[in-house]
Amino acid sequence: MWTEGSTLQVFTSTHCGETKGKVLSQGRQELRMQSTKQTELCCAEQRAMERHWKRLCEEWGEDVSYEVAMDDWLDNHATAWREEHQRRVLERQKKEMEKHRWIESEKAQCDLGSKAYLDWIRNYAAQWRYWYEREVEGLEVE
């Protein structure tokens, strides 16, 4: 069973900017594995999958291989997680766009409407998404 304190190296997705290992515990033996499916996951989904893996080990009361956990995640949980994740991201992004519209409209002393949204997309969307994935998603716990 997976417990805090044993060792298992798992490689995070290159979507995180660089590949780096995360160490988890697995008794005296150290296991190293890299799943080809894992590289398909964004950082937030990788963290969600790792929580799923830990939960499976606890629920089943035995060691569950990373591949079995990954297959279960992809077959039974990934679609719902991705839909909810996308909904949350778009909701937060929309709020940022609305703030930008309000600020820019106040400066212009008239409602800029879709022009302000397009300005936000052109000038801030990429940086916001980068910030959001690194700072906010890293703190979210499901």
Q: How do the pLDDT tens digits run along the chain, 142 residues long?
A: 434 443 333 333 333 443 333 434 443 233 334 444 445 777 788 888 899 999 999 998 999 898 899 999 899 999 999 999 899 999 999 999 999 999 999 999 999 999 999 999 999 999 998 888 877 766 554 4
d(CA 22, CA 11): 6
Taking only Cα atoms into account, the Rg of the chain, rounded to an integer number of angstroms, comes to 20
Q: Are 11 and 34 in contact (CB under 8 A)?
A: yes
| Cα gap 137→41, rounded to integer Å | 14
- Specify whether the CB–CB gap between 128 and 98 falls below 8 A: no
Under 8 Å between Cβ of 35 and 67: yes
Domain locations in the chain as residue ranges:
38-136
Check residue 131 and give its pLDDT. Answer: 87
Q: What was the pLDDT predicted at 79?
A: 92
Give the model's pLDDT for residue 118.
95
What is the reported pLDDT for 44?
83
CA dihedral 141, 54, 49, 139 (to 10 degrees): 20
DSSP label of 36 = T
pLDDT at 140 (0 to 100): 52
